[in-house]
Amino acid sequence: MTGPLSGVKVVELAGLAPAPFGCMLLADLGADVVQVDRPGGPGAPPTPLRRSRRTVTLDLKTEAGVAELLRLAARADVLAEGNRPGVAERLGFGPATIEKINPRLVYARMTGWGQHGPLAERAGHDIDYIALAGALEPIGRAGERPHAPLNLIADFAGGGMLLAVGVLAALLERERSGRGQVVDAAMVDGSALLTTFLRGMIDGGGWRGARGENVLDGGAPFYDTYETSDGGFLAVGAIEPAFYRALLTGLGLADAPDLPGQHDRTGWPALRDRFARTFATRTRDEWAAVFAGSDACVTPVLSPAEAPAHPHNRARDTFVEVEGRPQPAPAPRFGRTPAAAPRPETAVTVAEVLAGW
């Protein structure tokens, strides 16, 4: 194994998207992650989230399966699980049990609502967690209902990423104390954390309108998407004055005498209409060529299928192929301990894992 986490041993209980994503990050960066599947297969995350793992199959509803898991936990640095609160304890592999056999183990718990609170026992999904965290209400067009931004905020940014950060912090603290600890990573907490900048704008008066009426939510015509003549779209993010001037230059509107001022909110509807009509005169790629090399902050809106082929992504190897299909490459980059290329999951036995550990 290569990467900055080489030598770190992780046991991951297979689950849905958030915990597998967090453990994928650890595996990408060199940790030896062994995923414990239930009999009959994981039945959960897509293959990319299971990459760079070894997998074992254990029935954790049986004493024999739990015993095998405890053998792995006794040798591991991290155990990550995404069960509802109390499930691991009832099955016999909760934190108190594992601390007795491995006090250095970091026990990472990934849930939607956290380990305590009125909703801790309830089911939920990304849209529910961001709704309660105040992250969903601001997202959407003016006069329309809130719009769910895929499941990127709670599941991945506020969930799996938060889990990985917690694990890394606990491992670093263990170097000083010699002891592991429980990491309670809740998607509602992580979603709330991601609104920190938004709350600063609200407190500072920079978020003055309702949903869809502000600078960063599509309310401003200079921070929005526009359709082109071929049905494609461009993303425009020309907030700063110099970037806005570059946008007007590229659109051929730098000397337009009747153009409303950039921050004249009363003129935003007319400004958006002017931009929309102008962008509709050329194709997406023609506009991309116009703004190439410019600081106008204008980029083509690429589909997931198109993104790997973009010249910038190709130059940085932002995407890599695993079994002939593109996947996002490990990130961030490390100068001295680079991450290895992702690889498909591999089925092994507990005995094989322990022999290596």
Spot the catalytic one: 37, 128, 155, 189: 155
274 and 327 fall within a common domain: no
In a domain, 211, yes or no: no
Domain coverage including residue 275: 223-227+233-300
What does the chain come to in residues? 357
pLDDT at 43 over 60: no
Asked whether 205 and 140 are in contact (CB, 8 A), the reply is no
By CB atoms closer than 10 A (0-12, 13-18, 19+), residue 75 is middle
CATH code of the domain covering residue 269: 3.30.1540.10
pLDDT at 46 over 80: no
Sorted by sequence, the CB contacts under 8 Å of residue 283 that are 6+ apart come out as: 228, 229, 230, 232
pLDDT digits (tens, 9 = 90+) for 182-230: 999 999 999 999 999 999 999 999 898 899 999 999 999 999 999 999 9
**pLDDT (0 to 100) of residue 208:** 84
Do 190 and 249 fall into the same domain?
Answer: no
Same domain, 104 and 242: no
Q: Find all residues with CB under 8 Å of 48, minimum gap 6, and list them.
A: 24, 322, 327, 328
How would you classify the pairing of strands 319-322 and 325-328? antiparallel
Same domain, 340 and 294: no
User: Which pLDDT score, from 0 to 100, does residue 1 have?
Assistant: 61
Look up the pTM and report it: 0.94
Same domain, 106 and 253: no
- 41 shares a domain with 161: yes
- Of 78, 28, 88, 34, give the one whose Cα is nearest residue 56: 34
201 domain-assigned: no
Q: What is the 3-state secondary structure (H, E, C) of 186-229?
A: EHHHHHHHCCHHHHHHHHCCCCCCCCCCCCCCCCCCCEEEEECC
Instruction: Phi first, then psi: give them for residue 327, nearest 5 degrees.
Output: -140, 155
- Residue whose C-alpha is closest to residue 158's, from 134, 138, 182: 134
Residues of the chain with pLDDT > 70: what percent?
98
Q: Residue 260 has which token pair?
A: 């409303």
At residue 109, the pLDDT reads 98
Report yes or no on 205 lying in a domain. Answer: no
Shared-domain flag, residues 151 and 243:
no
Looking at residue 311, its pLDDT comes to 96
- Cα–Cα distance, 155 to 62 (Å, whole number): 30
Q: Is 125 a catalytic residue?
A: yes
Residue 258 lies in a domain: yes
What was the pLDDT predicted at 40? 82
Q: What is the mean pLDDT of the chain?
A: 95
The answer on 327 and 292 residing in a single domain is: no
Structure tokens at 209: 């309108």
Q: Is 147 an annotated catalytic residue?
A: no
pLDDT at 5 over 60: yes
- Phi, psi angles (nearest 5°) of residue 163: -60, -45
Q: Is residue 177 part of a domain?
A: yes
Q: What is the CATH number of the domain that holds 139?
A: 3.40.50.10540
At 54-67, the pLDDT tens digits run: 999 999 999 999 99
The confidence score (pLDDT) of residue 309 equals: 97
Q: Is there a single domain that holds both residue 80 and residue 186? A: yes
**Does the pLDDT at position 140 exceed 60?**
yes
Residue 107 in this model has a pLDDT that exceeds 80: yes
pLDDT for 240-249, tens place per residue?
999 999 999 9
Separation between Cα atoms, residue 199 and residue 131, nearest integer Å: 15
Return the percent helix, strand and coil in the chain, to nearest 5.
40, 15, 45
Q: What is the pLDDT of residue 38?
A: 92
Q: What are residue 321's phi and psi, to 5 degrees? A: -100, 130
Integer Cα distance of 13 and 11 in angstroms? 7
Average pLDDT, stretch 267-276? 97
25 C-beta neighbours (distance < 10 Å), count = 22
Same domain, 242 and 171: no
- Does 312 fall in a domain? no
My answer on whether 39 and 182 are in the same domain is yes
Q: Are residues 21 and 100 in the same domain?
A: yes
Question: What integer pLDDT is reported at residue 79 of this predicted model?
Answer: 98
Domain count, the chain: 2
**Contact between residue 78 and residue 10 where contact means Cβ atoms under 8 Å apart:** yes
Of 125, 184, 224, 310, which is the active-site residue? Answer: 125
Residue 337, in any domain of the structure:
yes
Residue 42 pLDDT grade (very low, low, confident, very high; cuts 50, 70, 90): low
Chain centroid offset of residue 54 CA: 23
List the structure tokens of 113: 């609502």
